[in-house]
């Protein structure tokens, strides 16, 4: 018998409460195992039914954010989840340390905005002790400058900062009130303290920031930063129609080439942790360039075949695909007295037999709950 997969995690911000937790006693039988395959031992690496090794979890630690970016949320925002429903740091660490022995290598802390949650440095310190190869964090950068020294000392070495323009007024419009100086202070401080990988994520928005793309790419001339351009995903509840604002990655690459010279593809390191959804390029006619250019193409090119990740929502729902609406409830496991890591591993393994082969099509969803 298969364990039940729950449906509906992607609920866009219709402000409906999450579905009730399943009582573990209601789960039927033991984890599903294909009849012909030998039963996996509890320490074999996590793999889905298409042979994709799962090494990477993105963990949203809060649904709260200190900005309201026009492509991510609506002016009204949405009702935050009550705190008791959010996983504690102890619960997050318990889940992650259960999965390290079965191949988890990388954790990315995301949100909402992860730096608005108190004591995030303690979480990073805890993650630093469980044998992960890489601890990463995605942030809008507003609270980064005062925290980045401690975050780095605690073990954080990979930082993605969202920044869609270099123009202070446009930044304020896109983020509905953000101050760009704070973001730059954070980025500069991250480079000073020696965070080994700093990336900037810029969402492509026709009619909003399209006059900034080449200037954003110029950041890679001056700084050792990967500047990554992300195609807009249609989150309808934001009120920013994708049909009107979509720009393809191919379009931005040709604009950059026209202004800054040839872009030479950097081969992906297949099977490595960096083999994520981004394709990277060198500014080959600009030997002075310290950084690189990247594109992430959720719309124009699928990267599902090399997907090595799953996502844990702030409320403990493990999502198998950003765009699917299936999840399993890990919070129910770690809140059950007497649970063991093997319970958790069995549930995750079973869920992975149903990780979709590819993105099954876009549905509106609450990005703050999932963290991109």
Q: Which chain residues interact with ligand SAM by CB under 6 A? A: 65, 71-72, 110-111, 113, 138-140, 162, 201, 203, 230, 232-233, 235, 367, 371-372
CB 201 within 8 A of CB 228: yes
11 or 140, CB closer to ligand SAM?
Answer: 140
263 or 367, CB closer to ligand SAM?
Answer: 367
* Shortest Å, Cβ 316 to ligand SAM: 18
φ and ψ of 201, to 5 deg: -105, 120
203 or 283, CB closer to ligand SAM?
Answer: 203
46 or 307, CB closer to ligand SAM?
Answer: 307
* Shortest Å, Cβ 157 to ligand SAM: 17
* Shortest Å, Cβ 372 to ligand SAM: 3
32 or 362, CB closer to ligand SAM?
Answer: 362
* Shortest Å, Cβ 367 to ligand SAM: 4
Residue 322: HSE in the Cβ half-sphere, 13 Å Cα cutoff: 21
* Shortest Å, Cβ 308 to ligand SAM: 18
User: For the stretch 284-296, what's the b/e string if a residue is b when 16 or more beta carbons lie within 10 angstroms of its beta carbon?
Assistant: eeeeebebbbbbb
* Shortest Å, Cβ 235 to ligand SAM: 4
* Shortest Å, Cβ 10 to ligand SAM: 13
47 or 358, CB closer to ligand SAM?
Answer: 358
Residue nearest ligand SAM, CB atom distance: 372
CB 275 within 8 A of CB 295: no
13 or 371, CB closer to ligand SAM?
Answer: 371
């Amino acid at each position: 018998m298969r364990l039940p997969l729950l449906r509906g995690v992607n609920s866009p911000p219709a402000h409906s409460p999450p579905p009730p937790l399943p009582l573990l006693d209601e789960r039927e039988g033991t984890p599903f195992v294909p009849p012909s395959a030998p039963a996996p031992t509890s320490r074999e690496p996590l793999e889905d039914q298409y042979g994709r090794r799962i090494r990477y979890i993105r963990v949203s630690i809060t649904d709260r954010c200190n900005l309201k970016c026009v492509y991510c949320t609506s002016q009204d925002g949405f009702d935050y989840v009550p705190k008791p429903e959010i996983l504690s740091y102890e619960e997050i660490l318990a889940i992650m340390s259960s999965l390290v022995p079965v191949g988890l290598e990388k954790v990315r802390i995301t949100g909402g905005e992860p730096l608005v949650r108190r004591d995030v440095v303690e979480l990073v310190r805890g993650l630093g002790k469980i044998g992960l190869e890489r601890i990463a964090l995605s942030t809008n950068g507003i609270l980064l400058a005062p925290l980045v020294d401690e975050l780095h000392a605690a073990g954080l070495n990979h930082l993605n900062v969202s920044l869609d323009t270099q123009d202070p007024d446009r930044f304020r419009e896109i983020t509905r009130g953000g101050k760009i100086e704070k973001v730059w202070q954070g980025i500069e401080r991250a480079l000073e303290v020696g965070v080994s990988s700093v990336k900037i994520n810029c969402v492509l928005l026709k009619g909003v920031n399209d006059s900034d793309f080449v200037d954003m790419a110029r950041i890679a001339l001056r700084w050792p930063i990967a500047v990554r351009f992300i195609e807009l995903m249609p989150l309808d509840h934001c009120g920013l129609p994708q049909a009107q604002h979509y720009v393809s990655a191919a379009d931005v690459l040709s604009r950059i080439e026209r202004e800054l010279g040839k872009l030479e593809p950097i081969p992906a390191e297949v099977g490595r942790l960096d083999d994520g959804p981004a394709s990277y390029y060198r500014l080959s006619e600009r030997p002075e360039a310290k950084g690189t250019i990247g594109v992430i193409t959720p719309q124009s090119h699928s990267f599902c075949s090399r997907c090595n990740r799953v996502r844990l929502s702030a409320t403990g729902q493990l999502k198998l695909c950003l765009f699917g609406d299936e999840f399993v409830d890990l919070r129910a496991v770690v809140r059950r007295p007497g649970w063991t890591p093997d319970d958790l591993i069995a549930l995750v393994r079973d869920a992975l037999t149903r990780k979709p082969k590819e993105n099954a099509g876009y549905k509106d969803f609450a990005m703050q709950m999932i963290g991109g």
